[in-house]
Amino acid sequence: MDLPEADAETKTWFVNWLEQFSSHVRSVDYASARPLFHPQILAFGTHQDVLPDREAWINTQWDNVWPRTDDFRFDIAATHVLVSNDKTMAVVIAPWTSTGFDTSGKPFDRPGRATIVFHRSGDGWTGVHTHLSLNRGVPQTSHGDRPVKAR
């Protein structure tokens, strides 16, 4: 039995979503990224265990990462999109890259991977769970200092 890979049209929708989300990360635009996720999202990542909602996620994970890094992008060629038979749930598995900064401001490669779970309702697809984490051996702390465009 094969994995339930998305058809081309559905995968394109999710690739566009990834591009949109990553552009919000690069511009440190929380306000534009917020509607992509359910208010009660369950999220975790490098800096936090399971967080109970979107605002807790923004105030911890996003604040600890987005302003301190740069150039966040998903590796679209290596992305997988799995969709349930009834097309109400989807999972996106995608490696990503970014740039971190050491204490002297010197940039370093900061790759990682993401799993994003989506639920489809009358309003379309919404992120309900994420796990973004760094690859092994990558420094967890970055010391960039970019302003938040919109909270």
pLDDT single digits (tens) 32-76: 999 999 999 999 876 668 988 999 999 988 999 999 999 999 999
What is the fold, at CATH topology level, of the domain defined by 8-134? Nuclear Transport Factor 2; Chain: A, (3.10.450)
> In the structure encoding, which two tokens stand for residue 14, read together?
């999710």
> In the structure encoding, which two tokens stand for residue 62, read together?
């996003």
Euclidean distance between CA atoms 42 and 130, whole angstroms: 7
Give the number of residues written for the chain.
151
Strands 37-45 and 124-134: parallel
pLDDT of residue 47: 62
pLDDT digits (tens, 9 = 90+) for 82-128: 999 999 999 999 999 999 999 999 999 999 999 999 999 988 999 99
